[in-house]
Amino acid sequence: MTGLRAATLIVLAGAFPAMEGAAAPVGPPRVLAGGKVVSAAKLAPLVKMVFKEGMDDISYKGGIAAVLGIPDPTRTKTELRSARKTTDGRRHLCSVTIVPLLAGRPNEPGEFIFWANRKVGRGNEDFYARVSLDGFLLKAIVREDLSDEKGYVVRGAAEPMALEVRSQEAQERVRHELELWLYGDSLKAKDSKKHLKKLARFNKPAPGQKLDPGEDGRLADEEAPAAED
């Protein structure tokens, strides 16, 4: 495992204090999720790419699993874009959770978990979003390290803040992640081109299937409900 991937794994496992005894409920059903942000058709190539080619050594567990409301641990297939490849100064993860099936049957994708991380002073700001495969924003979490009066980070002092999925902040943040992973936005030019070329390999219709003319467009405003404060 590379140093960067190892550091990422540590962050995901220890970003939040362990919550002993906290139940890790299964994600809410579609009718309760609210906040659709993208169509399933636009997510389909990304699901295929990450689930087929993503690294499989990143799991969500402990405090972060409890906060996100997912089983502890949750295994994933994950694509990473480091901060040196982005124009927004963040590193980004796109994870697809692994749903294990009965012996002898292949695993299936469950949902997306997006993670964006940036340095804030001597600490970090993290944004997490759970998005269903049919395009609903299920959960959005922001966490920023707290510092003392001298500017030193106080480990374990930061509390995660859940955002209302229909709020403007949650909608804007998750759409930023989607635009990076679906269209290469916020990636440097050569890295964007490389990413889109890789994604294009999975954007082919099945035999006999025709793509909807609108599927290749940018995220349309009508795909997300009006933001609420």
**Residue 47's pLDDT band (boundaries 50, 70, 90)?**
very high
More confident residue, 148 or 18: 148
Average pLDDT over the chain reads: 79
In a domain, 210, yes or no: no
Q: What is the pLDDT of residues 98-122, one digit of tens each?
A: 998 777 788 899 999 999 999 877 7
Query: 127 lies in which domain range?
Result: 3-203
pLDDT band at 144 (very low <50, low <70, confident <90, very high): confident
> Considering its fold, how many domains does the chain have in total?
1
217 part of a folded domain:
no
Assess if residue 228 is contained within a domain. no
Q: Is residue 224 part of a domain?
A: no
- Which pLDDT value is given to residue 213? 39
In a domain? residue 182: yes
DSSP 25: P
pLDDT value at residue 206: 56
Whether residue 209 is contained in a domain is answered as no
Can you list the pairs that 187-190 forms with residues at least 24 positions away whose Cβ atoms lie under 8 Å?
A: 187/81, 187/85, 187/86, 187/87, 188/85, 188/86, 188/87
pLDDT at 188: 98
86 inside domain = yes
Give the lowest-confidence range in 101-110, 167-176, 187-196: 101-110
Predicted confidence (pLDDT) at residue 22 exceeds the cutoff of 90? no
Q: Determine, yes or no, domain membership for 129.
A: yes
**How large is the angle between the packed helices 189-200 and 40-53, nearest 10 degrees?**
90
CB 38 within 8 A of CB 223: yes
